Structure 1
C-alpha cells in the first residue's frame, strides 16, 4: 500500500516549504550514477547521481527488490553559518577572476547545507502526459522552470552559483554525451557535468510498464536535476575527487557514490514538497506514485551489480526524507551513518 500523505501545510518562512514526510525514496524507471539504469522487464533500477569529471562513460545502476533496512538518519539541527568553514571567495587582485558566487569544493561542509534552507513553493501547471517522444519532450521542457523556481532561491541563499541546465532528448537505444555513450539497457536518464545537461531519452522511461505514472517520470527528472544542483555547488566534483583518491571501485569509493546518488534522491523529494504545496499538477496521486516508485529501485535488484546507488529501502527513504523535511541539511548524506547509505 502506498505511504499516506502528510497534512498539507503552509510555509512557515514565506519562501521555504515546510512539508513533512519521513525517510527515503527511489524511482520506478532505471537510473545510474549521474545516469539512470533500466530493466526491460521490471522498471526497478536505481537513480543516478553526479557523473565523472573525466571523459569516461557513466556506470549504469541496477534494479532492486523490497527488503528491510534502516531508515535514513540525518542531522536534527541545521549547521550554523557562523560556525562553518569560510566559503571560497573571489580574488580582487586580478580582473580575470569571475565575480559573484562560486562553487565550493566540499561535500559535508558545503554551504548548500547551512541553515534552514528549503525549496520555495511553486505552482506547476504541466501539460497532460502522453506517451510519445514529442509529448514527453514538451512535458519535461515545461517542468524545467518549475524545478528552477524551487531550487534557484536555495542556491542564492547559500551564495552559490546557478545556471539553467541544458535538456537533451536523444532518440534510439544508444545515446552519446560528453560523458560517453550509454545504451538503453544501461540507463533510463542521466546527467553529464561536462555538458551541464540532463539527458532524458524517451526509450529510457519504460512507459509500457509505468503507463501514466507521471510521479515516476518526474521523480527521475527531479533526481537528475538534483545532480545539477550538486554540480553547481561544487559538492559533486569534491565527491568525485574523494572517490578518485580511494579508488572509485573500492568499498570506500562505492560508498561515496551511494552518498551522492541518495542525496540526489533526497533533493528530488524536496522538489515534490515545493510543487505539492503549490496546488498545481503535483497532486496527492502524483506524490503517492513518486513515493511508491522510490522503494522499487535499488542495487539489491541486481545482486551482481556494483553497489553504487544504494538498496531499495534507502533509495526510497532518502526521497521520502527530502519530501517530508524539505531542508538541504536533512539531505546531507555525507554526515549520515553507513547503514543509511548502504
Structure 2
C-alpha cells in the first residue's frame, strides 16, 4: 500500500480509537516512518513511529495559529527567538538488556534533555513540563490505542506528555545494545514534546484538519523533520560526552538517522540525515525552521513535481 494513502481519521480503519473526555476523539498523525538498522544487522527492519494528538494544552502564552508557517504562529516565534540549548554533560546508566535497563537509560537521558532544552523554553516563556517514557507493551494510551507493532515503533502522546516506546518493538528492530538507535529515537520523540509545549503541535493538528492528502503529507514531513532537527540540536549540546558511543559520542547517534528509511511522504532517509545534521551544526532553534524550507528540502510529491517542472524549463 502507498503510505500516502494510509491516512487516518479520528477513528481510522487501523485504529478503533475510543472517545476521550469531553467528547473529542484522538487523531493519529503518521509522522516518522523509519528504518532503523543496528550496526551489524544484515536485514533492516521497517519501523513506524506515530504521534498521537490528544487534548494536551500548550504551555506557551502564544495562541496557536491555524498553520505553523504563519507569521504569527508559535513555530515562527520559536524560530525567531534564536534560542540555543545548554551544553550538558550526560552520564546515563548503562544501556542494559531488558525493559528495566532501557527504562533506567531513558530516565537519565530525559534528565539531560530537560537541562539542555531549559534555556530555549525560558526564552519563549514556556514552563518545562516533565515527560515520561513507557516501555511496556500497553495497547491503550491517553490518546487512544497504540498502533499495531507492524506499523509503529512508538508514539508521543500530548495528552499526558508520554513517549510510548515498547521495548519489545525497538529490540526487535535494532537489538538490545545499539545505544545510538535508542538515543536517536528518544531525542526525536522529545523533539515532539518541545513542539507540544511551544504550541507547534497544536498548529500542526490545525493545519491537518480538513487538509487534502498532499497538504497533509507536506505538513507531516515538515513536522517530522523538525523533530529530527531538534534531536540533532540536543546531540550537539551533548557532543562533549561519550553518550551514544564510548569513542565518538553523540555524533554516532546523528549518523544513525541515515539508517532511518522512510517513504517520501515523510522525508526519507536522506532528508532525515540532512535535518539531523542541520540541528547538530546549526547552533540554535532557528536552524530547524522546516516550515519555511523549500519543497526540495522536505521531499514528497510536490518536490518531485517542481523538480520535473524545472528540468523541463529552458
State if a TM-score over 0.5 links the two structures: yes
Residue 318 of structure 1 pairs with residue 275 of structure 2: yes
Quote the Cα distance in structure 1 between the aligned partners of 2:172 and 2:96: 10
What pairs with 1:254-269 in structure 2 (closer than 5 Å)?
A: 254-269=217-232
Query: Corresponding residue for 2:189?
Result: 224
Secondary structure at the counterpart of residue 126 of structure 1: coil
Residue 215 of structure 1 is aligned with which of 180, 191, 196? 180
Partner residue of 2:254?
A: 291
Paired residue for 1:177? 141
Hey, what's the Cα distance between the residues in 1 that align with 2:31 and 2:131? 14
Aligned counterparts of 1:207 and 1:120: Cα–Cα separation in 2:
34
Deviations 1:113-157 (A, max 9, x none): 123311100111111111211111111011111000001221111
Which is helix-richer, 1 or 2?
A: 2
* Greater relative CO (CA pairs within 8 A, separation 6+): 1
Structure 1 residue 316: Cα displacement: 1.2
Match of 2:79 among 108, 113, 116: 113
SS in 1 for 2:81: coil
If each structure's strand is expressed as a fraction of its own residues, which one has the higher value? 2
Structure 1: where are the runs of 5+ without partners?
A: 1-31, 56-97, 301-306
Q: Secondary structure at the match of 1:167?
A: strand
Shift, 1:326, TM fit? 2.7
Helix, strand or coil: the match of 1:285? coil
Shift of the 275–260 alpha-carbon distance from structure 1 to 2, 3 Å rule, reads same
Alignment match, 1:51? 52
Q: Distance in 1 between matches of 2:205 and 2:173?
A: 35
Check conservation: 2:35, 2:260, Cα contact below 8 A. no
User: Which residue of 90, 97, 105 maps to 1:139?
Assistant: 105
Give how far 1:337 is off: 0.5
Distance 2:249 2:33 in 1: 20
Q: TM-score, normalised by structure 2?
A: 0.73
Tell me the TM-score normalised to structure 1 length: 0.68
1:285 Cα offset (Å): 3.1
Measured after TM superposition, the shift of residue 159 of structure 1 is 1.6
2:163 match: secondary structure: strand
Aligned length: 256
Superposition deviation, residue 207 in structure 1: 5.4
1:258-283, Cα deviation, whole Å (9 max, x unpaired): 10000000000101001113x35355
2:229, 2:278 within 8 Å by CA — same for their partners in 1? yes
**8 Å contact from structure 1 (residues 47, 261) kept in 2:** no
